Structure 1
Amino acid sequence: MIDPRRLRVLRALADHGTVTAAAHALYLSPSAVSQQLTALETETGHTLVERRGRTVRLTAAGSVLAEHAAAVAAQLERAEADLARCSTGLAGEVTLAAFATSITEVVAPAVAALRQQAPQVRIHVKDAEGPTAVRLLTDGEADIAVAVEHRDSLAPAGARLLLTPLYEEPFDAVLPPRHRLAGAPEVRLTDLREERWITPWPGNPVHEAVLRACEEAAFQPRVECLSDDFSAVCALVAAGAGVALVPRSALHGIRPALTPAVRPLDGPGPVRRVFTAVRRGSESHPLLRLVLTELRAKAAAIAA
């Protein structure tokens, strides 16, 4: 009989690539992870991992078992959801990982509404940029992730997560107040090819979206300032340090003293697509359905 707890260890190893990283994700010691893997190999009668320096690689048998581990985890999630539906009333805790702008625009309003609708439900929010929210979800440290569609955000997910579009929004050009195009009704990206640029750090989906949009406009932006904080980006633009492309909702609530000139783009431009994710099998859990429904309701205001 295979111990499902050891399958979780194998799955973490497949996700993280090293015993140390898997141990960190599972809150175990590296030696405990190694012992669990050895025991699992004994249970199955197969060699499941091959060591290559500091990393480990799953064997063919290990890869097959890791896929079954994902299916077992999903079935356990469904069992917990079914049990939760048997309970009367809505009470419990939900941990939600989301990036900063979505917290401000969607998550916080949803939390406020749920405090009135279901005061027995406690929501814990974790600020997580880039692919971190999805990683927290797959590691079991969050129940719901709100993340931006990006190649890195989905890399660890595979078929284990259920993704649902939440909202999408355009980017606006953000210019210094005295910029030559500050009074234009719209701005073409090609008109900004010679400018200095301010973007989020590499690895942030917005950084990648801006670079891709500029490449499609046949130029490489000259990035001179980097910040993942859009208030800081706007302050730098207002100070004349460069230009930027910023998702429209990220400009909400920027202090007037920091507000540069904001203009829509003329022609095609980048779009930020935001989704929610849950571990497959947990989507019918009543607490998660409650939170997801409220997130969609608040996100509708952005899409409108």
Structure 2
Amino acid sequence: MFDSRHIRTFHEVVRAGSYSAAARTLGYTQPAITQQMKALERSVGTPLFVRVGRRMRLTEAGEALERHAGVILERISAAQQQMSAITGLRAGRVRMCAFPSAGATIVPEALARLADGHPGIRVELQEAEPPDSMRRVADGECDVTLAFTYPGLHEQVPDELVEIPLMEDQLTVLLPTGHPMARRRAVKLAELADERWIAGCLRCRANFLHECAELGFAPDVAFTTDDILVVQSLVAEGLGIAMMPGLVLSFLVHRKVTGRALDPASRRQVSAYVLREHLDIPATALVLDELRTAAANRVGC
């Protein structure tokens, strides 16, 4: 294994033509240069220089090493500059995974702040619902994932992940604007037992069925879709109603749809998840800070 310090010294000896000249340039003593060259020759297993009168000449091995020395030093310098940029938050890459309603609300605000303050950091965005999104970060397919959990479902989080709580997201019911309950500020789930329902992703559906069962009824699920825009369109046409996260209310696109909070309130926990060692990566830590800020701005909206 080469010592980069020895390679740098070797390169200067070749350029300067002697140990003494290299010593003056590098600020070493001549014996120190001699010791470094001996150590390098032991490392490669053969002499690199031979003396011809007062001058030093490269051996065949020395010529071969010199052909690579400049490239090696350039790559080390480039690597040092890149590491400095990453640790100084002038560069970096973070792979983020988010569920759709967070991807439409928390994530854009966080990324806009990040781009404004640290334009050299690149974030690659994926979309997935939990638990698949948690598996992705546990398997190394992404660096940060946004996921949600419901308090009544006793969901398992992979042991290797660290949870960073971001916000509580209050659940709402999407209703056609002409629905009798739409005139209320909040609705009771039990009062909607006879409605037709539109169910969402597997985890949301499980929580919805659980909450209905706790109230003693089984809902009539007429449609199932993960697409939030499809849910809104179905509700707008009076084909059913839906329990949806409060985050969705900020991007309702149908004038015929309104959202009403549940009474009593029902909430899910939105968190970021990372591998513990990723907390020490500057770019990842910065992304988490921006997600915290964006989530805090959503609380109470």
Structure-2-length-normalised TM-score: 0.67
Specify the alignment match of 2:244 in structure 1.
246
Shift of 1:154: 3.6
CA 1:153/1:190 → structure 2, altered by over 3 Å: closer, same or farther? closer
Q: Distance between the aligned counterparts of 1:87 and 1:243, measured in 2?
A: 48
Which residue in the other structure is 2:291 paired with?
A: 295
Alignment partners' CA distance in 2, 1:199 and 1:149: 17
Q: Deviations over 1:141-194 (max 9, x none)?
A: 101111112569745x12x11111111111112222222222223211111111
Q: Distance in 1 between matches of 2:120 and 2:206?
A: 40
From the superposition, tell whether residues 120 and 224 of structure 1 become closer, same or farther in structure 2 (CA, over 3 Å).
same
2:208: which partner in 1?
210
Please, what is the CA RMSD of the aligned residues? Answer: 2.2
Give, in angstroms, the shift of residue 229 of structure 1.
1.5
Moved over 4 A (4+): 84-88, 150-153
Letter in structure 1 aligned against 2:269: R
Instruction: Determine if contact 1:134/1:154 at 8 Å carries over to the other structure.
Output: no
Secondary structure, aligned partner of 1:181: helix
- Kindly state the Cα deviation for residue 121 of structure 1 after the two structures are TM-superposed: 0.6
- 1:134 touches 1:147 (CA, 8 Å); kept in 2? yes
Give the distance between the partners of 1:194 and 1:178, measured in 2 at CA: 17
| Unaligned runs of at least 5 residues, structure 1 | 1-83
Q: CA deviation at 1:88?
A: 4.8
Q: Does 1:227 align with 2:222?
A: no
Q: Percent identity?
A: 33
Q: TM-score, normalised by structure 1?
A: 0.66
In structure 2, the residue matched to 1:271 is 267
Unpaired segments ≥5 residues, structure 2:
1-82
Deviates more, 1:181-190 or 1:192-201: 181-190
Shift of residue 85, structure 1, vs aligned partner: 8.5
Question: Is 1:116 matched with 2:116?
Answer: yes
Instruction: Report the alpha carbon displacement of residue 86 of structure 1 after superposing the two structures with TM.
Output: 10
Task: Name 1:280's counterpart in structure 2.
Answer: 276
Equivalent pair of 1:146/1:277 in contact (CA under 8 Å): yes
Contact 1:147/1:153, CA 8 A, preserved across alignment = no
Give the conservation status (yes or no) of the 8 Å contact 2:171–2:245.
yes
Structure label with greater radius of gyration = 2
Query: C-alpha separation between the residues in 2 aligned to 1:200 and 1:298?
Result: 25
Distance in structure 2 (CA, Å) of the matches to 1:272 and 1:105 = 16
- How far, CA to CA, are the matches of 1:261 and 1:88 in structure 2? 46
Task: From the superposition, tell whether residues 220 and 139 of structure 1 become closer, same or farther in structure 2 (CA, over 3 Å).
Answer: same
Code of the residue aligned with 2:212 in structure 1: it is: C
CA distance in 1, matches of 2:258, 2:285: 40
